[in-house]
Structure 1
Amino acid sequence: MSKPAIPNITLEACHSLSDIPRETWKRLAGTDNPFLRYEFFEALESSHCTSENTGWKPCHLVFRTEGEIAGVAPAYLKSHSMGEYVFDWAWADAYRRYDMEYYPKLLIAVPFTPSQGPRLLLDPQLRNALNPRQIHNLLDTLVGHLGAHSWHLLFPSAEDQQLLQQDEQLHRIGCQFHWHNQGYGCFEDFLGRLTSRKRKSIRKERRQVAEQEISFTRFHGRDLPDHVLAAFYVFYRATYLKRGQHPYLSRQFFEQIRQTMPEHLHVIMAIKDGKMIASALFLSGKSTLYGRYWGCLEEYNHLHFETCYYQGIELAIDLGLQIFDAGAQGEHKLVRGFEPVLTHSWHGIAHPGFHDAIEVFTREEAEQVMAYYEDAKTVLPFRQNDGA
C-alpha cells in the first residue's frame, strides 16, 4: 500500500534557532529527551558554543508542507570534524590529497553528544508520507544550495532509521555500551545478576574507593548551588586541558541549562577530607540516563569507574530509568554490566568518485563492527542462567 502523498514538501535552512518558533519546535520535539529541547540548543547558541567561530554554524533544517512548518532537525555547517564521535578524518584527508574541499559539510546531529535519538523531528502526517528517496533527495539538493559538499546524519533513532534506510546510500554502524535496568531495586540487585568473579571485582573496586575516604553527594538541577556548579566546571575543563584541548562547552552553557531545564540535570560530586575532588554530570530523559561530562584534578584508584558508572547505575535505579547511556566507546564497560549496542549514521557525498570509494569503506567497516559486536556479547559478565 503506497504512502499518502503530501504536495509541496520543501526543505530549507535557518541560521539561528530563533528563526523557528519555540512552540513549533516543542510540539515537534517534545520534552522527553533533554538533547532535543529547544532550551538545550538555545543555550548552545547564546553561550556561543555553536557559532561560525567555533566551526559549528547553526543551520537548522525546516520542512514545510504547503508553506507551513511540518518538521525540524538540528543541523550545523561544519568547518571541521571535531565533537562528532563518528570519525571522518580520513575522508577529509583524502579530499585534501586530491586538492579538493571537504568542508563545509552539513551535519545533522546534537553537538558534542554521541547519544542515539530522534534527529528528524517530523509531524506524524509528514513522516507517514515521506520515503527514504525523498529524504535523501531533499538533503542532497539543500547541500548544493548551501555550498556544502556532503551531509551527515548521526545517531538517529530506530524510527528515523526506517526513513533513512536505502541500499545505495552510505550507512555506517558503530558500537557503544549501555546498561539496562532489569527492574532492580538497588545496586545489589544488579550485582546479583553477575557471575561471582565479576561481582567480587566490582565490590573490590568500590571498597577501594571507600578506603581512600572518598564519599559522594548527589545534586539535582533544581537544587544545584553555584559553588558546586563552579567546581564541576573546573573538573570538566581539566579533562580537555589534559589533552591539550579547549572544552567544547562554556560555564555559561551549564548555568543556562541549570536555569532553563533543571529537571533533566544531575551532578554527582566526589568529596575527600571535606573538599570536592571530582565530579560527573548526567542528564535524564523519560527512560534514559545520559552520562556526559566528567573531570578530576588528581587521580585516585577506581574513582572514574565509581563516579561515572557505579554512581550512575545507582542514579538510574533510583530514578526508575530503563537505560544508562554512559557515552561513546569504552569496552571496559563490558565487564561492568554494560551491553553492546549498535549505533548508526547516514551520509550523502556529492562527489560520485568519492561516494563510490567511501561506499566500499563503509561496507568493510560494517563487517568489522558486526564481528566486534558479536564478540563483545560473548564476554558479558552476567550469569548464563539469566539468559544475558
Structure 2
Amino acid sequence: MTQDASFPELTVTVVPSLSQIDPKAWDACACPEAAQGGPPADPFTTYRFLHALERSGSVGRGTGWEPHHLTVEADGQIIAVAPMYAKGHSQGEYIFDHNWAHAYESAGGQYYPKMQMAVPFTPATGRRFLTRPGWEVAGQQALVQGAVQFAANNRLSSLHITFCTEAEAQAGAQMGLLPRITQQFHWHNRGYADFDGFLADLSSRKRKAIRKERAKAQGFGGVIRTLTGDDIQPAHWDAFWQFYQDTGSRKWGTPYLTRDFFEIVHDTMREDMALVLCERDGVPVAGALNFIGRDVLYGRYWGCIEDHPCLHFEACYYQAIDFAIAKGLSRVEAGAQGEHKLARGYLPAQTHSLHWLGDAGFADAVAKYLEAERRAIDEDIEIMTAYGPFKQDNREEQQ
C-alpha cells in the first residue's frame, strides 16, 4: 500500500493479539511523549492497559471483543498502530448504535460482527490513530484504509471509531467516514488554587448546595482517602472488586472486567491510578477508581456495599476535582452520560466518533440521521451550559 510519492511503501497488518507486537514499538506510537519521562497523555491506549485487558480475559474469544489490532510498517519499522476489535454485540462502547443494528437486521442484513476501533469499556476521548511523530498523515491514512479494507473484504456491516479526537474526526471525515457528535460532562480547571476557588466561580445557590452535599457525604461515619502508587495495596482490590461487581451487575448484568485485570494493573499501572476509598471502622464500604493522564483525570468505576447520602457524588466528582486541582490537571472526564453532573460543575462537551457502513443505501440513511442528531446535540449543549452552576460571566467563558 503506497500513500503518496513522498512516503515509502507502507504495509498494513492485522494482528490477533497484542502479545505479538513489541511493547516499545506500540508505545512509540501510542504515547511518544512518555519516552522523555512523565505519564502518558492517555493511559488507556498504552500497551500495558490494552494488554491487561487481553491477559485478564476481559477481552478475547467469547467476550464479544475479539482483538484484530492494526499495525503499519515503513522500511521494517512500525510507524502506526490502532486498537481494533471484532464485536459480536454493542455493549461496552458508550456510543450507541443499537437502533442502527435493529434497522439493518430488520431489512435482512447481518449487523454483527462489526469492527470497532476503540478502547474497550472506556468512554474517554483519546487518539485512535496512533502514530509515531512525523507519520501523522501517512499513518492515519493507512490505518483508515486498512481498517475499511479489512471490513469490506470480510463483508462486515460496519466499522466504528469511537471517542477519537476532534482532529481525527475531521481527518476521518475528509477520508469519507461519517462523523458523529455525542456528549459527555467534563470539569475544567481554570487555575483554581483549591476547591473553594472553584466554588467561588459558581452561583451562590449552587455553591451552598455543593457545600451542603459535601458535608453530608463526609459525615457518613468514616474517612475518605485517595491513594496512588505504592499506597495502593493488593488487599484494596479485594474491596474494590466487591464494589465493581455490585455496580456491574446492576448496570450491565455481568461485569465487563475480570478480577485478574485489577491484579495486573496493580503491578503495571498503579502509578497511573487514583483510588478513592471510603472507609468506616477501617473497612472500605465504597470506592471510585480514576486513571491519571498527563493533563486529565479520568473517572472510571464506582461501587459500594453500603448506601450513604451523597457519598457517590463526593467519591466520584468532588474528590476528583480536589485531586485535579492539587496535581494541576486541566480537566476531569467523569465517564459517560449523567446530566446530574451538571449541577456539580461538570459542563457538557462534544465527543466524537467516525463510522463506515458497507451498504451505500444504509450509509446514506445514517448520514441523514447523524446530521439531525448533530443539530440536536449542539442545541442541548447550548441549553445545558446556560443552565449550568457557574455565574453568568464565568458561564459565558466556559462556552
Same fold by TM (over 0.5)? yes
Partner AA of 1:268 in structure 2: V
Q: Separation in 1 of the partners of 2:219 and 2:28? A: 50
Q: Tell me which moved more, 170-179 or 150-159.
A: 150-159
What does 1:300-379 correspond to in 2, within 5 Å?
Answer: 300-379=308-387
Contact 2:80 2:131 (C-alpha < 8 Å) held by counterparts: yes
Q: Separation in 2 of the partners of 1:357 and 1:89? A: 15
User: Is residue 56 from structure 1 mapped to residue 65 from structure 2 by the alignment?
Assistant: yes
The answer for the alignment partner of 1:272 in structure 2 is 280
Structure 2: which 5+ residue stretches go unaligned? 35-39
The answer for the alignment partner of 1:34 in structure 2 is 43
The answer for the alignment partner of 1:115 in structure 2 is 124
Q: Separation in 1 of the partners of 2:114 and 2:252? A: 25
Partner AA of 2:135 in structure 1: L
Q: Separation in 2 of the partners of 1:213 and 1:256? A: 32
Identity of aligned residues (%): 40
Question: Which of 210, 221, 226 is matched with 2:229 structurally?
Answer: 221
Change (3 A) 1:29 1:311: same
- Please state how far the C-alpha of 1:160 moved relative to its aligned partner: 2.1
Secondary structure at 2:326's aligned position in 1? Answer: helix
What does 1:282-293 correspond to in 2, within 5 Å?
Answer: 282-293=290-301
Secondary structure at 1:155's aligned position in 2? Answer: strand
- Please state how far the C-alpha of 1:68 moved relative to its aligned partner: 3.5
Change (3 A) 1:244 1:128: closer
The answer for the alignment partner of 2:261 in structure 1 is 253
The answer for the alignment partner of 2:14 in structure 1 is 13
After superposition, give the CA deviation of every residue in 1:283-340 in whole Å (9 maximum; x if it has no partner): 1010000000000123221111111001111111122211111101111111111121
Q: Tell me which moved more, 10-19 or 139-148.
A: 139-148
Contact 1:339 1:377 (C-alpha < 8 Å) held by counterparts: yes
Q: Separation in 2 of the partners of 1:353 and 1:312? A: 45
TM-score normalised over the length of structure 2: 0.92
Question: Which of 160, 182, 186 is matched with 2:168 structurally?
Answer: 160
Q: Separation in 2 of the partners of 1:129 and 1:121? A: 11
Q: Separation in 2 of the partners of 1:181 and 1:382? A: 13
The answer for the alignment partner of 1:73 in structure 2 is 82
TM-score normalised over the length of structure 1: 0.94
Secondary structure at 1:261's aligned position in 2? Answer: helix
After superposition, give the CA deviation of every residue in 1:256-287 in whole Å (9 maximum; x if it has no partner): 11101221011111122433210001110100
User: Is residue 187 from structure 1 mapped to residue 195 from structure 2 by the alignment?
Assistant: yes
Q: Tell me which moved more, 233-242 or 160-169.
A: 160-169
Q: Separation in 2 of the partners of 1:135 and 1:239? A: 36
Contact 2:289 2:301 (C-alpha < 8 Å) held by counterparts: yes
Question: Which of 210, 214, 223 is matched with 1:206 structurally?
Answer: 214
- Please state how far the C-alpha of 1:192 moved relative to its aligned partner: 1.1
After superposition, give the CA deviation of every residue in 1:97-144 in whole Å (9 maximum; x if it has no partner): 122211111100001001101111113333234676x66443321212
Change (3 A) 1:318 1:97: same
Secondary structure at 1:353's aligned position in 2? Answer: helix
Partner AA of 1:199 in structure 2: R
Q: Superposition RMSD on alpha carbons, in Å?
A: 2.0
After superposition, give the CA deviation of every residue in 1:215-267 in whole Å (9 maximum; x if it has no partner): 20121132212221110110011002224611101121011111012210111
User: Is residue 96 from structure 1 mapped to residue 105 from structure 2 by the alignment?
Assistant: yes
Structure 1: which 5+ residue stretches go unaligned? none
Contact 1:221 1:267 (C-alpha < 8 Å) held by counterparts: no
Q: Separation in 2 of the partners of 1:114 and 1:236? A: 17
The answer for the alignment partner of 1:144 in structure 2 is 152
- Please state how far the C-alpha of 1:28 moved relative to its aligned partner: 1.0
- Please state how far the C-alpha of 1:356 moved relative to its aligned partner: 1.2
Q: Separation in 2 of the partners of 1:35 and 1:202? A: 31
Partner AA of 1:163 in structure 2: A
Partner AA of 2:366 in structure 1: I
Change (3 A) 1:243 1:182: closer
The answer for the alignment partner of 1:296 in structure 2 is 304
Question: Which of 94, 114, 127 is matched with 2:136 structurally?
Answer: 127
- Please state how far the C-alpha of 1:34 moved relative to its aligned partner: 0.9
Change (3 A) 1:57 1:244: closer
Q: Separation in 1 of the partners of 2:393 and 2:156? A: 53
Q: Separation in 1 of the partners of 2:386 and 2:252? A: 37
Q: Separation in 1 of the partners of 2:388 and 2:292? A: 25
Corresponding residue pairs, total:
386
Partner AA of 1:185 in structure 2: A
